Amino acid sequence: MSTLSPLVPFLGSILVSVILLKQEQSEKPEQQKKRTMTRNAVSMTKEAVMKLRRKYFSKSVSISYANSGPLMIVQGRGSHLIDENGVAYLDTRNNVAHCGHSHPRVVKAVQDQVAQLNTNTRYLHPNVATLGQRLSNLFPDPLEIVFFVNSGSEANDLALRLARACTGSKNTIVVDGSYHGHTMTVLEVSPYKYEQGGEFDLQPPKMGLKFQSPGRHIWKVPAPDIYRGPHRDIRTAGREYAKTVEEACHFYQKECGEKVGAFLLEGGMSTPGAILSPPGYLAHSVKAVRDAGGVFIADEVQSGFGRFGTSFWAFQHQHPGHEEEVVVPDIVTMGKPFGNGMPLAAVVTTRAVAEAFETNAHIEYFNTFGGNPVCAAAGLAVLDTIEAEKLQQKAVQVGGYLQDKFMALQQHLEIIGDVRGSGFFIGVELVRDRTTLEAATEETSYICSVLKEKYKILTSIDGIFENVLMIKPPMVFSKADADYFVESFEGAVGDMKAAGDVRSMEKTPT
C-alpha cells in the first residue's frame, strides 16, 4: 500500500472543508444566517441523539454500523458524507444521491420551487407535466404512461395493482433473495425480508410449492447466479434458469387453472448480491410469463438512471459478446435516485395496462405528494445533471476502471471470489475457499467495519450469505475515489489477517 494511505481520510476531510469554506464565503448574508441556524439545529452530540433514538424509536428501526459505532452525518458533498466532527467519509454505497450529495443544480431547483409553491397533486403544474414527458421519452415503445409516487416501495406496490387489474391474477413470480419494498404487499414478494422473521405465516412446502411462502400466490425462483448457482456457463445458464420460471407458469396454468399475474424482477438484482440476468434469461422467462397470461415488471429502483453505464435502464443491459434483442417490460418501477434524496419515484407502463387499470380497478388513483412540484423540480434537475455531466458515460469509464482494479486485486487476494456487475453497480463476493465457495460472512463484516473506522469508507453488504460488497456510489465517483477504495480494501484485508480469527464477528449492519 501507499505510504500516503493513512493520511487520505485526513486530507480528504481538509479538502472537503476547504470546498465548504469557499462556498460559504461566496454566500449572501441571508444564506449565511440560514446556514448558522442549520448548524445550531445539529449541534447536539451523537450521544444525545442516540439517547433520543433509544427513548422514542422502535428497536426495529435499523441504523448502519450499529455494532461498530453509528455515524452522525450532518453534511454531504459529492462522493463524501461528513460527520459532526468534520470527518469526511467516502461513500461507495449511497445510490440515493445519484448526482452526488448536495448537488448545486438539484439544491437550487428545490430551493427555488419550494419558495414559490409546494402543494398536493390535485392541480396542474408545469414541473409535473414536463417531468412526465421527459421520463416517458427515456423508454422504448410501448412504455409511455407515467404514475408518480413517493418511493420505490410505493412504485412496486402500484405496479402489482396494475398487474392484477390487467391480468385478473395476483399470482406473482419473484427471485430468491430479492427485496422490493416495505409495504405489506411488496414485503409479500420480497424473500429477502419475509424469510427473516415471523411477520408472515409462511406456508410450508405443499400444493406444488417447493419452498416456504407467504401464500400459494407467491412463487419463488432461484436467482440466476452464474457464480455459485447450479448453472455457471454463461452460454447456457440463462436458458436453464428460465426453466424455473416456466415451471412456475406451468403450476399456475395447468395445476391450478389460473393465470400468472406478474413476474417481478430487479434489472440488477441487488440484495441477492449484484446478480445480472444471464443472456437468454429474460427472453425465455418473459415469454413463458406472457404465454401464461402475466406481465413483466422490471424493478429499476436500485439500478436505473444510467447506473449500469452501458444502458440507461438495467433491463436494456447486454452482455458483451452475447448481444440479444432487448425485452421491453410491461411495467417499470423506479425510485431512490430519481430525486437525488427528495422523495420521488414513478411507475411507467403501456397504454394497454393503464387502460385496463382505469377500466377494472373501479377506483381513481390519487397520491397526495407523489410528483409534487418541489420533487418534480428535483427530478428535472437530476435528469439535466445526468445529461450535462455525462454521468452515464462516467459510469462506464470509472465503474469499469473500478471493476478492473478489483479484478487485478483478485489475482493475489484469495478472499475475492468473484467481481461482477456493470457501470456503478458492482458486487465483490468474498469467500474462504475458491473451490468450495464457502462464504466469508464474518470476514466481510470485519472488513466493512475496518473500512469505516480506519479508512473512512462507507460500504454495503448484500447477498444471501451476506458476503458480497455492494458498490453503488454516487455517479460523481472519481478515479481517485476508486484508487483509494481499492487500496483501502487491500489494507483492510491485511488488517484482518493481522487480527487473526475474526469468525466471531457479528454482522455489521450497513
pLDDT in tens, 151-165: 999 999 999 999 999
Give the integer Cα–Cα distance in Å for 118 and 136.
23
Q: What is the pLDDT of residue 472?
A: 98
DSSP 8-state symbol, 314: G
State residue 416 phi and psi, 5-degree precision.
-80, 105
Q: Buried b vs exposed e over 438-475: b needs ≥16 C-beta within 10 Å?
A: ebbbbbbbbbbbbbbeebbbbbbbbbbbbbbbbbbbbb
Q: What is the pLDDT of residue 40?
A: 47
Q: What is the pLDDT of residue 23?
A: 54
pLDDT of 489-507, one tens digit each?
999 999 999 998 887 777 7
What is the dihedral sign for C-alpha 92, 399, 493, 455?
Answer: negative
Q: At 494, which helix (H) or strand (E)?
A: helix 479-499
Q: CA nearest 332: which of 173, 143, 96, 178?
A: 143
Which residues of the chain does CATH 3.90.1150.10 include?
5-99+390-499
State residue 385 phi and psi, 5-degree precision.
-70, -40
At the second CATH level, the architecture of 120-181+219-388 is 3-Layer(aba) Sandwich (3.40)
State residue 331 phi and psi, 5-degree precision.
-145, 135
For residue 128, what are the contacts with CB-CB under 8 A and spacing of at least 6? 121, 148, 371, 372, 373, 376
Q: What is the pLDDT of residue 192?
A: 78
The series of mean pLDDT values per 10 residues for the chain, 510 residues long, is 50 54 56 47 84 93 85 96 97 94 98 96 96 98 98 97 97 94 90 63 53 78 96 96 97 95 96 95 98 98 97 93 90 97 98 96 89 98 99 98 98 98 98 97 95 97 95 98 98 94 75
Which residues of the chain does CATH 3.40.640.10 include?
120-181+219-388
Q: What is the pLDDT of residue 436?
A: 97
Q: At the topology level of CATH, where does 5-99+390-499 sit?
A: Aspartate Aminotransferase, domain 1 (3.90.1150)
- Kindly report whether the global pTM for this prediction surpasses the value 0.85: yes
